[in-house]
C-alpha cells in the first residue's frame, strides 16, 4: 500500500510538471480603453513624411496631454470598402475609373480585405469582403451605370458593414462625380455615423462645374469628420494618381495609441489634437491628417 501511495504521488508530480512545461509563458491582455489614431504626415509640398519617432508627436485629448503607449510605423492590413458611383453620369468614364480603383487595390497590403458597394438610385453590397483581386475586378466590370446618386445611403450601408471587418484599421474609398440626389439618409446622419465609427473616409470627386463648389464642401466635411482626405482631380488620369498616392499613404501611416487619462465611460465627445515637433534641422512645417475626435463608449 505504501508503495502504491508513493507511485501515485510520483505520477501526480510528473503531471504537474508537464502541465507547467506546456502552459503559456504569458497571458495576452487587451486594453479596451486604448484609443488608436492613424496619422498621415506631409510637408509643405504635400509629400509624405516618414522616419518620425514617438518623441516627435504629442497627443492632446480635451486639451490634456496623453501619454503615448503604442507607437508603430509599419504596413498593417486594412479592411477596405470601395464605394463606387454607378449613376448614369459616370458611364463615359466608368472603364477608366474601374482601372484606377483596381490600381489602388493592387498597391495595398496583400492581407487587406475589400468589399464593393455600388450606388445609383439606391445602394447595394455587390461584393462582400474578399482578398481576391479577380473577384473585385469582376464585380466592378459587371455594374451597368444608370439612375441617380445615393451617396449617403451607400456610406451608411458601408459603415454598417464595417462592423464585421476583421482588421482594426478600416477605410472607405468613395469615388463619385456629383451631389447626392436620391438617398433616404441625410447628410447630418452620415456625419454622426462617421463620427461614431472608427472608419476613415477617402473621397475622390470628379465633379462637374455646375455641382463643384457645393459638392466639394459636402464631401470634404465627410472626409474631415473621419480623419480622411478629399481629392478633387480634373480628370481620370489625375484621379488614378491620387488613388495610388492614397494607397501608399495608407501603408505608411503612423499608428499612435494611448489610454485616456480621463477614464470615464460617459458617451461624451472627446476632441483630439496631434502636434508634431519636426526633427532637428527640419525647416518645413509638418501637417497631419487624423481623426479629430471620437465618442467615448458609455460602458
**d(C-alpha 32, C-alpha 259), whole Å:** 9
Helices (H), the chain: 2-22, 94-106, 133-142, 151-161, 187-196, 212-226, 236-251
Per-residue pLDDT of the chain (299 residues; tens, 9 = 90+): 444 444 434 434 444 444 444 333 323 334 568 999 999 999 999 999 999 999 999 999 999 999 999 999 999 999 999 999 999 999 999 999 999 999 999 998 889 999 999 999 999 999 999 999 999 999 999 999 999 999 999 999 999 999 999 999 999 999 999 899 999 999 999 999 999 999 999 999 999 877 778 999 999 999 999 999 999 999 999 999 999 999 999 999 999 999 999 999 999 999 999 999 999 988 889 999 999 999 998 87
**d(C-alpha 3, C-alpha 89), whole Å:** 91
Residue 146 sits at φ, ψ, to 5 deg, of -170, 165
Contact 166, 147 (CB under 8 A): no
How many whole angstroms from its chain centre is CA 147?
29
User: Is this model's pTM higher than 0.85 or not?
Assistant: yes
Amino acid at each position: 500500500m505504501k508503495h502504491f501511495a508513493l507511485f501515485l504521488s510520483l505520477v501526480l508530480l510528473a503531471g504537474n510538471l508537464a502541465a507547467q512545461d506546456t502552459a503559456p509563458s504569458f497571458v495576452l491582455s487587451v486594453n479596451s480603453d486604448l484609443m488608436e489614431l492613424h496619422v498621415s504626415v506631409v510637408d509643405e509640398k504635400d509629400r509624405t513624411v516618414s522616419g518620425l519617432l514617438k518623441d516627435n508627436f504629442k497627443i492632446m485629448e480635451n486639451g490634456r496631454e496623453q501619454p503615448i503607449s503604442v507607437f508603430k510605423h509599419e504596413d498593417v492590413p486594412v479592411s477596405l470598402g470601395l464605394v463606387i458611383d454607378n449613376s448614369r453620369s459616370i458611364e463615359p468614364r466608368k472603364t477608366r475609373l474601374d482601372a484606377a480603383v483596381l490600381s489602388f487595390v493592387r498597391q495595398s497590403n496583400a492581407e487587406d480585405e475589400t468589399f464593393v458597394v455600388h450606388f445609383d438610385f439606391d445602394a447595394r453590397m455587390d461584393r462582400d469582403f474578399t482578398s481576391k483581386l479577380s473577384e473585385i475586378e469582376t464585380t466592378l466590370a459587371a455594374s451597368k451605370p444608370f439612375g441617380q446618386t445615393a451617396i449617403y445611403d451607400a456610406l451608411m450601408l458601408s459603415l454598417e458593414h464595417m462592423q464585421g471587418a476583421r482588421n482594426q484599421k478600416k477605410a472607405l474609398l468613395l469615388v463619385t462625380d456629383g451631389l447626392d440626389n436620391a438617398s433616404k439618409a441625410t447628410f447630418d446622419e452620415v456625419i454622426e455615423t462617421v463620427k461614431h465609427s472608427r472608419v476613415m473616409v477617402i473621397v475622390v470627386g470628379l465633379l462637374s462645374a455646375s455641382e463643384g463648389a457645393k459638392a466639394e464642401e459636402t464631401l470634404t466635411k465627410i472626409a474631415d469628420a473621419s480623419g480622411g482626405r478629399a481629392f478633387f482631380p480634373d480628370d481620370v488620369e489625375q484621379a488614378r494618381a491620387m488613388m495610388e498616392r492614397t494607397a501608399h499613404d495608407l501603408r505608411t501611416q503612423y499608428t499612435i495609441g494611448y489610454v485616456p487619462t480621463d477614464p470615464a465611460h460617459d458617451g461624451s465627445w472627446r476632441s483630439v489634437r496631434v502636434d508634431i515637433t519636426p526633427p532637428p534641422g527640419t525647416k518645413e512645417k509638418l501637417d497631419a491628417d487624423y481623426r479629430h475626435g471620437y465618442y467615448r463608449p458609455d460602458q
